[in-house]
Amino acid sequence: MATILIVDDTPTNLGVMVGHLEAQGYRVLIAQDGEEGLQRAELTHPDVILLDVMMPGLSGFDVCRKLKSRSSTREIPVIFMTSLTETRDKVAGFAAGAVDYVTKPLQADEVIARIDTHLKLHAAQTQLEEQNTLLAMYREDLEGQVAERTAALHESNRRLRAEVAERERAEQQVRRLNEELEMRVAERTAQLSAANRELQAFAYSVSHDLRAPLRVVTGYATRLLELAGSRLGDEERHYLERISGNTDRMSVLIEDLLTYARAGQPTVHAGRVPLEPLVCQLTETFAARIAASGATLEVGSPLAVPLGDATLIGQVLANLLDNALTYRRPEVAPRIRLSASPDGDMVLLQVADNGIGIAPAYHARIFEVFERLHSADEYPGNGLGLAIAAKAARLMGGEISVESSLGEGSTFTVRLPAAPADG
């Protein structure tokens, strides 16, 4: 229920008005002068004050100004009751802080309508203010949240930047290390190549120089056998024959060493190498050994055409055939199969045998220089054949490998680039 405070020095005039207001459900309080009006306003805090202008003591304007100057009463809407119709007084009333005025004699309907309006206005204003306060609170809260988020963002940004910088530093370091490593590898490779070339040149010149004296030894041993063979006792002749046999072996070794050393020197002539003529030539070369051992040599057909150097491929095949005939199982006639099949842009050149086979542990080692798995008494050889084959394959941009099981046989595969189909 809304409370209306009426401040008027002649309340008797108000009797009818009060009745109307109470009938509308308002609680009505009366003060008979300005002082009392101020006191009651402060104590009861009414919803609207109806204030007479002309009063003895404090005038309505004074009361209004005081009400507006106190925080406890500032918000209460004040409506002046005036019999004066002069614009000046209305203006003075509004200047003192009133929200409206009604003229005497009071018209009940008008007064009620105005009170109603101002009550509603006041309620709306209060609500607005409350909402404003709430909004301000929300805003503050939001601003707080935004500030927090911004700070968090700044922080994560800072961390990200630091991380990126750290990454860049690490990457730079890796790049630097890589460059260093590459440089070192290049240096080492250059050193190794130089050392290799030196070694090759050394092997070549030593082998070359050994040929002449060996030829002299062989020559004199043979001559001695021819001239004095009949006069020599069995033991002496045996010694001479041993000298001859060993110089023969040494001469083969020297030739192989020369081949190995030479293999890296000449520029490789890469071209189409049809294999049929090469195989024909090899069959002739090995004909005697094939016949003596009762071996069969099967040649696959067609033979794919590799890209390489005919001399080098000839050497590779000769070494592989030589081994296939050499490392045969006792009492088992060698069965050798030679084939060349395409494999993508490569050609697989294969020599398979049914010989003694090689234990897996030695599959890589046998391609090294001087690596042998048997003594010269068991099988003749110097451990250079496969090293020559491997080197030749590498020089032609290929590689060599073996698949083998002990006691069953071996298959050597040389992978070489294939010759272009139409070339």
- In angstroms, the CA 21 to CA 14 distance is 10
Q: Least distance from C-beta 282 to ligand ADP, angstroms?
A: 15
CB atoms within 10 A of CB 117: 14
- Candidate residues 217, 232, 250, 373; the one interacting with ligand ADP per rule CB under 6 A: 373
366 binds ligand ADP (CB under 6 A): yes
- Candidate residues 208, 374, 407, 420; the one interacting with ligand ADP per rule CB under 6 A: 374
387 binds ligand ADP (CB under 6 A): yes
Is the CB of residue 247 less than 8 Å from the CB of residue 217? Answer: yes
Q: Of the two residues 112 and 373, which places its CB atom closer to ligand ADP in the complex?
A: 373
Q: DSSP 3-state assignment of 162?
A: helix
Distant-in-sequence, close-in-space partners of 371: CB < 8 Å, separation ≥ 6: 362, 365, 383, 386, 387
Q: Of the two residues 148 and 298, which places its CB atom closer to ligand ADP in the complex?
A: 298
- Residue 58: closest CA among 93, 9, 91: 9
- Candidate residues 82, 207, 247, 323; the one interacting with ligand ADP per rule CB under 6 A: 323
Q: Of the two residues 306 and 385, which places its CB atom closer to ligand ADP in the complex?
A: 385
Residue 57's Cβ-count burial label (10 Å; 0-12, 13-18, 19+) is: exposed
Number of residues that bind ligand ADP (CB under 6 A): 22
376 binds ligand ADP (CB under 6 A): no
381 binds ligand ADP (CB under 6 A): yes
327 binds ligand ADP (CB under 6 A): yes
Is the CB of residue 98 less than 8 Å from the CB of residue 66? Answer: no
Q: Of the two residues 319 and 413, which places its CB atom closer to ligand ADP in the complex?
A: 319
Distant-in-sequence, close-in-space partners of 261: CB < 8 Å, separation ≥ 6: 200, 201, 203, 204, 207
- In angstroms, the CA 379 to CA 383 distance is 11
358 binds ligand ADP (CB under 6 A): yes
Site string for ligand ADP, 337-356 (x = CB under 6 A): ----------------x-xx
- Candidate residues 342, 383, 397, 417; the one interacting with ligand ADP per rule CB under 6 A: 383
DSSP string, 57-94: SS-HHHHHHHHHHSTTTTTS-EEEEES---HHHHHHHH
Q: Least distance from C-beta 196 to ligand ADP, angstroms?
A: 19
Q: Least distance from C-beta 313 to ligand ADP, angstroms?
A: 16
306 binds ligand ADP (CB under 6 A): no
Q: Least distance from C-beta 326 to ligand ADP, angstroms?
A: 6
Q: 319: number of CA atoms within 13 Å, CB side?
A: 27
Is the CB of residue 74 less than 8 Å from the CB of residue 68? Answer: yes
Residues that bind ligand ADP (CB under 6 A): 319, 323-324, 327, 353, 355-358, 366, 371-374, 381-387, 410
